[in-house]
Structure 1
Amino acid sequence: MRLIMPLLCLAVAGMLQGCARLHAPTEFQAVASQPYTLDSGDRVRVIVFGQDSLSNSFAVDSSGQIAMPLIGLVPAQGRTPADLARAIEGRLRAGYVREPRVSVEVEAYRPFFVLGEVTTSGQYPYVNGMTVETAVAIAGGYTPRAARDRAELTRTQEGRTVTADVPMSQPVRPGDTIVVRERYF
């Protein structure tokens, strides 16, 4: 009897821990407040005012650069759109355009991925303001065996890959991978 009570308490504590609210790791919370940085798969619209032949849409290639007329490859990976605009202005000012004014906006974000216990796993276009729950809805919803209270989120930030269990209300960023696990009961 003495051995059964502590084991019973441990079992109940373990079950209650599963009911505890999940909180996003601090790495994910900090990223949500930071400005968006470009990466491979993004598509940007570059507008050079007064130079229609230089204004166009450009894809950030696998090496993290965009290829522009006159100035060639411009590094975009890890830069905000405003940083990229300043870099393009600097290159154009160096012998091509007098007093260039450049605007850069994200035309299409890189996709996110949903895997696991969802109806249709795969790659989907990113939409601003998306949460894990809306990402699952875009993937066709849950399968009957899905854990509906949490998901595993993998994100690459500052060269590091971070994976954690997150609540369904966790904001999703472009390039994230969401895995919906199978529930236990």
Structure 2
Amino acid sequence: MKTLHGFAALGAGLLLGAGAALGIPMCDVAFAESHPASASPQSAEGTTIGIRYYIGDRLKLLIYERLDVPGEPGRPTDGRPHLVERAEFTGTYTVQENGAIVLPMLGDVDVDGRTPNEICKALGDVFYKTFGRSAQASVLLDEREPVYFVGQSVSSGTLKYTPGMTVLHAVANAGLSDNAKGDVYVRMELLREHERQQKARGKLRNLLARDLVLRAELSGGTDVKPDDRLTVLVGAQDANSAIESETKRRQIILESRKPVVDSYSAEVAIATQRKEILLSKLQIADDSVKNREERDSALQNLKTRGDANLFLTAQVKGDLADVRLRRAEILSDISAVELELTRAQKDLARSTAEAKLSLNQDITSIEDEIMETEAVLAGTQHLIDDLDTERFRRGTATNAPTFELVRRTKQGPLRIKADELTELHPGDLVEIIKPADRPIYSSSYEK
């Protein structure tokens, strides 16, 4: 039995190394045996939430069983799971009409409309219920059906399915008649121009709000209100929301600059305080010098009359020299502090001037962008008007063809009313119906 486990561990290591070399995406559905559904799947493939599989898709499955291989006595384990491929389950499976794939011994597993990670979790649950052991799985798309076309305006045929394909994308790539091609071209151009218009409108909204916030900052105002241009463009509620958003954005920028300004302001305050202290010391030194000079003058008068004490006279002269020296040192310190104060004031003034200059440059740049965006907005509106006129001239405004889909579901084929933006599934049949060919809808149609 130990030998079997040893071979299993060796095979698992080889499989893991090969899987890493090939870059096979693994959906981690290895559940704890005491709580089968407690673990959450984690996978590189599972992060692509938009991928879903449908009836008719061919999927390649790889299933690995997790083995608890005992470690050798006295040697720590590496903590990695030991996986062995279950070859009897590995293979390519087609999603059946009931939306499930059928695996030997595991039975039906529903996959229709599910993401790879959801399928991996379902496989892990079924494996645990069947064998009582944990497993990991990988799901890869091997093949999927195309989209089919029928109708009088299109050459019947197929088109390779791509994720996110809509009816209009598909019809634009089909073999249409010249008139139908022109109609589809007009519609697609209208969609593109409407998209450009929406993007330009959103950009202009942000630019106008930013311009108002910056101008209020330049003038020292704090309460920013939307102007008529912004209100007419997006409405009062959205205008206030845009200004609030731009105000918060600007506040973040100002907060990032604040430490530099505070540093310069602190240097100015410290230098000013030091200068005041030194000026106070200078005043005391001046008083001391004056006092010593008066005493020295009095002793000189006494010396002239012959009544002076020579020792006291020498002491007063020494004190006077010391006080004058301290006064000179204070004057030197005041000069140094004044230089520091001047430099700090210049740094603060330069920082303020640079901020104001940057603010003016931002406003100028935004004004240029506003003009460009307004030109784009006007151009798209002009083109939309021209395309609408072309649609009316072609008669597409009232006589546009409609679209219907025939889609396979678990309940059987279903006919669905569709428009240009209806998203297609693999295997869908798109029918283009002219106004004269449009059938009378019955209860079998999905409204």
Which bin holds the TM-score, normalised by the shorter protein?
0.5 to 0.7
- 1:163 pairs with one of 417, 434, 446: 417
Q: Which digits, 9 at most, give the CA deviation of each residue in 1:18-64, with x for residues without a partner? A: xxxxxxxxxxxxxxxx8454332111121213315122111011222
The alignment status of 1:51 with 2:51, answered yes or no, reads: no
Which residue of structure 2 aligns with residue 39 of structure 1?
A: 54
Which residue of structure 1 aligns with residue 405 of structure 2?
A: 154
- 1:122 pairs with one of 157, 172, 190: 157
Q: Which digits, 9 at most, give the CA deviation of each residue in 1:116-156, with x for residues without a partner? A: 245531344412343434423553x2113424237525375
**Equivalent position amino acid for 1:44 in 2:** L
Percent identical among aligned pairs is 25
Q: Secondary structure at the match of 2:420?
A: strand
**Equivalent position amino acid for 1:120 in 2:** S
Distance in 2 separating the partners of 1:158 and 1:74:
13
Distance in 1 separating the partners of 2:113 and 2:166:
23
Q: Residues 97 and 124 from structure 1, CA distance in 2 versus in 1: closer, same or farther, beyond 3 angstroms?
A: farther
The alignment status of 1:74 with 2:326, answered yes or no, reads: no
Q: Alpha-carbon deviation of 1:82?
A: 1.9
Q: Residues 106 and 51 from structure 1, CA distance in 2 versus in 1: closer, same or farther, beyond 3 angstroms?
A: same
- RMSD across aligned positions (CA): 3.4
Q: Secondary structure at the match of 1:180?
A: strand
- 2:141 pairs with one of 106, 120, 138: 106
Distance in 1 separating the partners of 2:51 and 2:415:
17
Q: Residues 105 and 155 from structure 1, CA distance in 2 versus in 1: closer, same or farther, beyond 3 angstroms?
A: farther
**Equivalent position amino acid for 2:418 in 1:** A
Distance in 2 separating the partners of 1:66 and 1:98:
21
- Number of residue equivalences: 148
- Say if 1:115 and 1:180, in contact at 8 Å, map to a contact too: yes
- Say if 1:118 and 1:136, in contact at 8 Å, map to a contact too: no
Residues 158-167 or 123-132, more deviating: 158-167
Q: Alpha-carbon deviation of 1:68?
A: 1.1
Flag structure 2 segments of 5+ consecutive residues without an equivalent: 1-48, 65-83, 188-400, 437-447
- 2:425 pairs with one of 162, 173, 178: 173
Q: Residues 78 and 183 from structure 1, CA distance in 2 versus in 1: closer, same or farther, beyond 3 angstroms?
A: closer
Q: Secondary structure at the match of 2:178?
A: coil
Residues 49-58 or 171-180, more deviating: 171-180
Which residue of structure 2 aligns with residue 13 of structure 1?
A: none
Q: Residues 47 and 118 from structure 1, CA distance in 2 versus in 1: closer, same or farther, beyond 3 angstroms?
A: farther
**Equivalent position amino acid for 1:179 in 2:** E
Distance in 2 separating the partners of 1:151 and 1:106:
32
Structure holding more helix per residue: 2
Which residue of structure 1 aligns with residue 124 of structure 2?
A: 89
Q: Secondary structure at the match of 1:86?
A: helix
Structure holding more strand per residue: 1
Q: Alpha-carbon deviation of 1:95?
A: 4.2
Q: Residues 70 and 100 from structure 1, CA distance in 2 versus in 1: closer, same or farther, beyond 3 angstroms?
A: same
Distance in 1 separating the partners of 2:424 and 2:129:
39
The alignment status of 1:136 with 2:151, answered yes or no, reads: no
**Equivalent position amino acid for 1:51 in 2:** E
Q: Residues 130 and 37 from structure 1, CA distance in 2 versus in 1: closer, same or farther, beyond 3 angstroms?
A: closer
Residues 57-66 or 106-115, more deviating: 106-115
Q: Residues 72 and 183 from structure 1, CA distance in 2 versus in 1: closer, same or farther, beyond 3 angstroms?
A: closer
Distance in 2 separating the partners of 1:180 and 1:107:
30
Q: Residues 40 and 166 from structure 1, CA distance in 2 versus in 1: closer, same or farther, beyond 3 angstroms?
A: same
Distance in 1 separating the partners of 2:109 and 2:99:
9
- Say if 2:166 and 2:420, in contact at 8 Å, map to a contact too: no
Larger radius of gyration: 2
Flag structure 1 segments of 5+ consecutive residues without an equivalent: 1-33
